[in-house]
Structure 1
C-alpha cells in the first residue's frame, strides 16, 4: 500500500483547486468582520476601538503563527502543515456555536488566527512548488487571492442574510468549519509534489528569525504593511463611515462592502491577465496611484463621494498584495518559502492590527469615522511613493532573475 501511494501521480490540478478553496474558506470569516462589528457594538455596548478586537484578535493570531510557526511548512512538509492548520481551524470554528460572550468569542478568534497562520504558510509555500517561474508564481498567487476575494464576498453576504433572518452571525463560523472539514478529507487523499528537504538546522525558529535581517524580506514586508493598512480601512471601517448615509445611492451604501469585495475579486483575476503582459512594477505603481485618488476624493468629498469611490478602490487594490507577497516569497529558495511567507504574513497582520486600531482610536477621539480615514489616506500616499520608487529603480530585478535560473 505504501509503494502504491508513493507511485500515485501528483494531481496538480486538484492541489491547485484545494489551495484556491482554502483561501476562499478562511476569507469568509476574516473579511466579514466589517459587517459583524456594527452588530456587536449594538449587542455588547462597545466603543469602536473595543469592537475592533474582533478583527485584532484574528490578525494577532495569524501574525504570531506566521513569525513563530512559518518554518513548519519547510520542516514538516506542505501537506501535513496544511492539514494541521485546517484541523485546528475546524475544531475552533465549531466552538462558536457554544458561547455567547464577547471575551469567549475574542479568544476563539485568536485561536482561529493561529490556525490560519499555520495552514496559510503551508499553502503559500505550496504555491512555489506548483509554479514554473517567479512570473508564474505571481500569476498563481493572484488567482489564489482571487478566490480569497470570492470568499470575502460570500462571508459578508452570509452574515447579512443571517442577521436579516434573525439568526446570529456566529453561524458563519460553523459553516466555515463544515467547509474546512471537507477540505481536510480532500487533502488527505491527494499526493503533494515533493520538495527539496533542507537540513533541520536551516529550518527552525532561529533560522526564520534570521530573515528579519534580510533587507529584501524587510522591504517587501514594509510594502505589504502599507498596503494592508490601506485595505483594512475599507473592510473594517467603511461600513461605519457610511452609516447614516442619505442620498441617491442608498443601495450602494448598504452593499458597499460587498461591492468592494466583488471588484477586488474581479480585479485579481484581471490582474493575473495583466501581469502576463505588463511589468509588475508598472502595474503596481498605476494601481497604487488610483487608490490614492479614491481615498483623497472620499476624504474631501464626504459620504456623497465616498459611497462611490471607496468601493471602486477594490478594483485597484486587487493586484497589489498578492504581487508583493509573491515577489517577496519567490525572492528566496523554495526550501525557504514557508519561512519567507511567514515573515511577510507576520508584518501583514501586525499592520492589520495596528492600522485599524489607530483609525478606530482617532475616530473615537474626534467623534467621527472620517478622521480615521485621514490616516488611511496618508498610508495610501506612502504606498504610492514607495511603488513609484520601485518602478524607477526596480531593486529586486537581479535577485528574482537569479532565482528563476536556480529554482525553476
Structure 2
C-alpha cells in the first residue's frame, strides 16, 4: 500500500492530466479566428495530440525502467506545462501543431505510468477515484478559460493560466520524488518487462482485451461528441437544452466514478465492468425510444453513469489478466488502443450520420457496446482458463 501523501500526489497529477483535455474544444471558436486557422483545424490538432500520446504510451514500460514512475511523471507534467505555455504564445496555426507534439507525449507517459502504479499498489476503489479526479480536471480547465474570457482576457491567457498551474504541479512532483524511492518499488520498476506490441498481443486474452478497451473508448467519445447533436437534431430540442444534456453525460461519468469507488469495496473489477456495460446498454435503449426529448436526455446521462466504472476497472484488472511483470507494457498498449478508438470512431460515425442521419447514434453505440461485452467475456474466459491450467 502507498502512503497517503504519495496518493495525494497521484490524485493531483491526474487532475492536472485532465485540465487541458477539454480546453481545446472550449477555446477553439476564439482560437481559430485569432490564428487564422480553418474551422476544422481543431480536429487535426487533437489527432496529432492523440498520435503522440499513443507513441509515449507504447514506450511507457521502457521509460519507467529508465526513469522510474515518479521522475517520469514529474518530467511528463513539466512537458505538458511547457506545451500549454507554448499554446498561449502561438501566433499561427503551424506553431499550435508543433506544440501539440510535447502535449501528447507528456500526457501519454503520465496516463500509462500512473494507471499501472495504482493498479499494482492500490485498492480498486482508488482507481475509480483516480479517474474521477481526471474528470474533475476536465471540468476545471474550461471553467478557468471561461472565467478568463468573462473578465476580458483572451484564450491565450486561459492557456497560460493552466500552463502555470501545471508548472506548479510539476515543481511539487520534483520536490517530492523521495516518496517514490522505496526499494521494492524501484526493484519492481526495473524488473518490469518492456514487451513489444506484438509480444503483448500474444499474451493469453490480450487481443480480445485490447479491442474491448478500444470499443469502450469509442463508445464514450462518440456519445460525448455527438450526444447533444442527437438530442437536438433527432428529438428537436433547442441547442441550449441539448448542450446541457451533453454536459450531464460527462458529469455522469465523473459522479459515477466517485460512486464506483465505494462499489469497488464490495464488487470485483469484472463485476464492476458488467454493471457498467448493462447501464450503458440501458441508456442506449432509452435513447432509441421515441417518447420525447426528456427520455433521450435521461438515456444519455445513464450512458454516462454506465461508462463510469468500465475504464478504471479494466485497467485495475490488468495485472491480474496479464501478470504484474507484464502490466506496464500491457497498459501502454491499452492506452494506445484507447486513443485509436476515441480518435477515429467518432469521425466514422460522423461520416455515417452524414449519409443515414444522427438517429443512428444509439444503434451505433449499442452495437459497439454488444461487441465490447462479448469480447470482454471472451477475454475473461481465456484468462481464467489459463490460470486454472497453470
TM-score band w.r.t. shorter chain: 0.7 to 0.9
1:76 aligned residue (67, 70, 73): 67
Aligned residues: 383
In structure 2, distance between residues paired with 1:96 and 1:295: 37
5+ residue gaps, structure 2: none
Tell me, yes or no, if structure 1 residue 340 matches structure 2 residue 330.
yes
Higher deviation after alignment, 369-378 or 32-41: 32-41
SS in 1 for 2:266: coil
Indicate the structure whose relative CO is greater, using CA pairs within 8 Å and at least 6 residues apart: 1
Q: 1:173 to 1:342 in 2, by over 3 A?
A: farther
Aligned partners of 1:239 and 1:257 also within 8 Å: yes
Aligned partners of 1:38 and 1:240 also within 8 Å: no
Q: 1:200 to 1:19 in 2, by over 3 A?
A: closer
Higher deviation after alignment, 354-363 or 17-26: 354-363
In structure 1, distance between residues paired with 2:311 and 2:99: 27
5+ residue gaps, structure 1: 1-9, 404-408
SS in 2 for 1:215: coil
SS in 2 for 1:144: helix
Task: Indicate the residue corresponding to 2:350 in structure 1.
Answer: 360
Tell me, yes or no, if structure 1 residue 296 matches structure 2 residue 285.
yes
Aligned partners of 1:74 and 1:197 also within 8 Å: no
In structure 2, distance between residues paired with 1:387 and 1:203: 24
SS in 1 for 2:76: helix
Q: Give how far 1:171 is off.
A: 4.2
CA deviation string 1:243-297 (max 9, x = no partner): 5799778764333343222221221121121122123333322321221222233
SS in 2 for 1:197: helix
Aligned partners of 2:211 and 2:372 also within 8 Å: no
Aligned partners of 2:68 and 2:186 also within 8 Å: no
1:3-402 mapped onto 2 (5 Å cutoff):
12-36=3-27, 44-47=37-40, 51-128=42-119, 130-131=121-122, 136=123, 138-162=124-148, 167-190=153-176, 191-192=179-180, 193-194=182-183, 195=185, 197=187, 203-204=193-194, 207=196, 209-242=198-231, 252-299=241-288, 301=290, 305-363=295-353, 365-366=354-355, 369-371=358-360, 374-387=363-376, 394-397=381-384
Q: 1:330 to 1:105 in 2, by over 3 A?
A: farther
In structure 2, distance between residues paired with 1:38 and 1:362: 25
* TM-score, scaled relative to structure 2: 0.83
Q: 1:16 to 1:62 in 2, by over 3 A?
A: same
CA deviation string 1:54-80 (max 9, x = no partner): 432222221111113432113321112
Aligned partners of 1:26 and 1:176 also within 8 Å: no
Task: Indicate the residue corresponding to 1:406 in structure 2.
Answer: none
Q: Give how far 1:149 is off.
A: 1.6
In structure 2, distance between residues paired with 1:236 and 1:33: 13
In structure 1, distance between residues paired with 2:387 and 2:143: 40
In structure 1, distance between residues paired with 2:91 and 2:67: 37
In structure 1, distance between residues paired with 2:142 and 2:230: 17
Q: Give how far 1:388 is off.
A: 5.7
Aligned partners of 2:24 and 2:42 also within 8 Å: no
In structure 2, distance between residues paired with 1:310 and 1:258: 10
In structure 2, distance between residues paired with 1:169 and 1:311: 30
